[in-house]
Structure 1
Amino acid sequence: MANWGCDVTTNCGERGPKLLIIEPFYGGSHKEHISCLIEGLIRNGIGYTLVTLSPKKWHWRARCSALMLRDKIPEISTEEALFCSSILNLPELLGLRPDLCQLRKVVYFHENQSIYPVKQVKERDVQYAYNEITTSLAADLVLFNSNFNRTSFLENINKIIRLFPDNRPKGIREQIEDKSKVLYYPMKYPVSTTDKVPQNSILHIVWPHRWEFDKGPEDFFDVILELKRLDCKFHLSVLGQVCADVPLVFHKATEELQEEIVHFGYLKSKDEYFEVLRACDVVVSTAKHEFFGVSTLEATYCGCLPLVPNNLVYPEIYPEECLYKSLNDLCRTLQKFCSEPKTVRELRRRLCLDFSKYCSKNLIPEYINVLAVNE
């Protein structure tokens, strides 16, 4: 049975808890994000109260977490600010808990729902995007994990408003834009990285993403199976979080790629995960919905050459030589790399990417500054 419990943790710091952190989906990158922030708070002697729900049933968390959390959030004592992800319906929570209105309210967007890929437009549930708009209006500061995330959200606000049958409010985008900024996701890179240069005679490809539709697994395996049809020699590791409804293509892959698969499935140990990444040559993304891409950046840091779409957030982070224009383009590049693995290693050695821009150690002081709890 799923654990729908709520956890509350308090650290009083030097002057009592100053920050109320609320995360309705406490798992994966959301959990790691909060962990990085908390480490920074503790280093600075800043107390906090952390209220979380387990990472189950995302859609229900987005719809109902405010009511679920209403009675779980402790009474405000010394807190000065509230920090939450955009999954939380903030105005709904403030209506249920008006005592929270006095806090400085900061919302963090890991993603936005206004451009979530759907097979047909009529399938899009605009309620999620609408909730993100009202949450942004209720906040004092709105943070995004990339310029792409911020821009795509702001550009789609008026599209959502135009769906209203009448009484369409004006100036909503401008109100949110004026109090929004980009603050990158804080990466915790592996402590020890070797300047490894894999000596594999066969190219090792890794796909380390969440096993869901929006990460484009069908496209990825179409390319990989085409490589096999072309008699390309390669090894394959498929990592990432396994979700409840795994797309059928993963089952097909285990049957048709038995000879190529080295690792297949989620690795609970982060150290083991990084070790696998260090043994790989190329990390591939075929995502349809990506606003930062933690796993791709982790793999790149561990020595993989990234091959990523020429859209979404990727041009913001990766140089042009890492971007592919189409799946055919991706397939041709991988085909070439399969025949010349040494080329990949030389390209990765020459790759110019400033990892420090996304490093937790460099970013957390800015988080504490914008939260205004270090005074």
Structure 2
Amino acid sequence: MKILLLSAYDAVSHRRWCDTLIGAFTEHEWTPLYLPPRHFNWRVRGNSLSWAFGQRPLLMRGYDLIIATSMVDLSALRGFVPALTTIPTLVYFHENQFAYPLNINQRNSIEPSMLNLYTALAGDKCVFNSHFNRNSFLTGASNLLSKLPDYVPAGLIEQIAENSTVIPVPLESSCFQSRTNKSKGPLKVLWNHRWEYDKAPDRLFAGLRYALEHGADLELYIVGQQFRRCPDVVKEMNDYLQSHYPGVVKRWGYIEREDDYLGLLRSADVALSTALHDFQGLSVLEAVAAGCVPLVPARLCYGEWFDDAYQYASNIDDPADEAVSLGRRLVTLSSLKASGTLPESVDVHFLTMNSMRKVYEEIFQETIDHHRNASD
């Protein structure tokens, strides 16, 4: 089978998903097209122009299936290249713009959300990486359509709901290597996320301050991808920790070598999230696969993977209150580590590609069958 794979805003997690698919289904002939994850507004609106008039020969080769991420301006691309309308198309939602929090520097525009909606309607099948992602998309799209003044066709949300399903991004087998023995001593806390506003480093800082001020014995590993614009609170947090609790920060910054990063996952005790949004939470899941105990807010997607024992009380509208909940849990976990009774991690082997291969095979075929039946 010849498959055209389109990733219009090819962030790290998107590329991992693409590489995993290509590596798992080597029997197919893949043609991937990627655009870099920068200049967001131009990228999500302009990718159809970039490809239709810059990669036309590749688009016209003739394919059995198109797999496109939700950032692809699929309706416009099909308009520019009508031959693509004859090819079964699956749209994969790593996230959706209806549930994505705005940066204070961003203007509130419905354009990205409308693009998500158009692309969902242009595809034959839509796949979301979590029920939280799917439900927040359907709710957000329904709310948006209800606010439009007139000529809104009925049944659009129902159409998308009927043609959509949930299939998570698989975890690489490298995440499941043997666990380093847990040593005695401080609780090793890992925060392994992009250093951006939507991962809420301000809530992390407040939660860590509470825990340390209330006697938690911690070692901190604050790692992740960094960008040109970094929230001011990140430097403030590092300065505070270095001056008030020297030695508590054991790792700070991006880890270049994959082996070093995987080694850290296998040695840490707790994988922490403070995110304002996580549609699947791959950073936490890969750490849990390596044996870390998850500690996540009781909101977003995490209830799909972890029970209440691994979630701290959430208050999205009151960061200070949520930070206290996080800090208290860290104090408790620190005491449990000291007494040798730290809870076990969660088994996430169901997220390996070996476990999920058949599900992906089935959705490929369902997309082709749906397109064929719709065309009859």
TM-score (norm 1): 0.88
Tell me the SS of whatever aligns to 2:32. Answer: strand
How far off is 1:127 after superposition?
1.4
How far off is 1:164 after superposition?
1.3
Residue 115 of structure 1 corresponds to: 99
Does 1:361 pair with 2:354? yes
2:330 to 330, 334, 341: 334
Does 1:57 pair with 2:45? no
In structure 2, relative to structure 1, the CA distance for the partners of 1:27 and 1:344 (3 Å cut) is farther
- Whole-Å separation in 2 of the counterparts to 1:170 and 1:322: 41
How far off is 1:222 after superposition?
1.0
In structure 2, relative to structure 1, the CA distance for the partners of 1:190 and 1:37 (3 Å cut) is same
Q: Superposition pairs for residues 223-372 of structure 1, below 5 Å?
A: 223-258=207-242, 259=246, 260-326=248-314, 327=322, 328-342=324-338, 346-348=342-344, 351=345, 353-372=346-365
Overall identity of the aligned pairs, in %: 29
- Whole-Å separation in 2 of the counterparts to 1:275 and 1:117: 32
How far off is 1:293 after superposition?
0.5
In structure 2, relative to structure 1, the CA distance for the partners of 1:237 and 1:294 (3 Å cut) is same
In structure 2, relative to structure 1, the CA distance for the partners of 1:60 and 1:345 (3 Å cut) is farther
- Give yes or no for contact 1:82–1:105 (8 Å, CA) kept in 2: yes
* Equivalent residues, number: 353
The C-alpha deviation readout for 1:8-49, integer Å capped at 9, x for no partner, is xxxxxxxxx61000111223110000001001221xx21111
Residue 3 of structure 1 corresponds to: none
Tell me the SS of whatever aligns to 2:147. Answer: coil
Please, which runs of 5 or more residues in structure 2 have no aligned partner?
315-321, 370-376
Q: Give the residue type in structure 1 aligned to 2:28.
A: I
Does 1:66 pair with 2:62? no
The C-alpha deviation readout for 1:72-116, integer Å capped at 9, x for no partner, is 141433411110100111101111111111110110000111122
How far off is 1:365 after superposition?
3.5
- Whole-Å separation in 1 of the counterparts to 2:118 and 2:35: 22
TM-score (norm 2): 0.88
- Whole-Å separation in 2 of the counterparts to 1:25 and 1:141: 20
Q: Superposition pairs for residues 40-51 of structure 1, below 5 Å?
A: 40-42=24-26, 45-51=27-33
- Give yes or no for contact 1:40–1:365 (8 Å, CA) kept in 2: no
Q: Give the residue type in structure 2 aligned to 1:81.
A: L
In structure 2, relative to structure 1, the CA distance for the partners of 1:189 and 1:41 (3 Å cut) is closer
In structure 2, relative to structure 1, the CA distance for the partners of 1:148 and 1:276 (3 Å cut) is same
How far off is 1:255 after superposition?
1.1
In structure 2, relative to structure 1, the CA distance for the partners of 1:190 and 1:64 (3 Å cut) is same
- Whole-Å separation in 1 of the counterparts to 2:203 and 2:89: 40
In structure 2, relative to structure 1, the CA distance for the partners of 1:75 and 1:65 (3 Å cut) is closer
- Give yes or no for contact 2:188–2:270 (8 Å, CA) kept in 1: yes
Further displaced range: 190-199 or 97-106: 190-199
Does 1:174 pair with 2:158? yes
Please, which runs of 5 or more residues in structure 1 have no aligned partner?
1-16
- Whole-Å separation in 2 of the counterparts to 1:184 and 1:230: 38
- Whole-Å separation in 2 of the counterparts to 1:143 and 1:281: 33
- Whole-Å separation in 2 of the counterparts to 1:96 and 1:23: 18
Further displaced range: 177-186 or 363-372: 363-372
- Whole-Å separation in 2 of the counterparts to 1:119 and 1:58: 13
1:207 to 168, 172, 191: 191
- Give yes or no for contact 1:37–1:364 (8 Å, CA) kept in 2: no
Further displaced range: 145-154 or 359-368: 359-368
- Give yes or no for contact 2:219–2:249 (8 Å, CA) kept in 1: yes
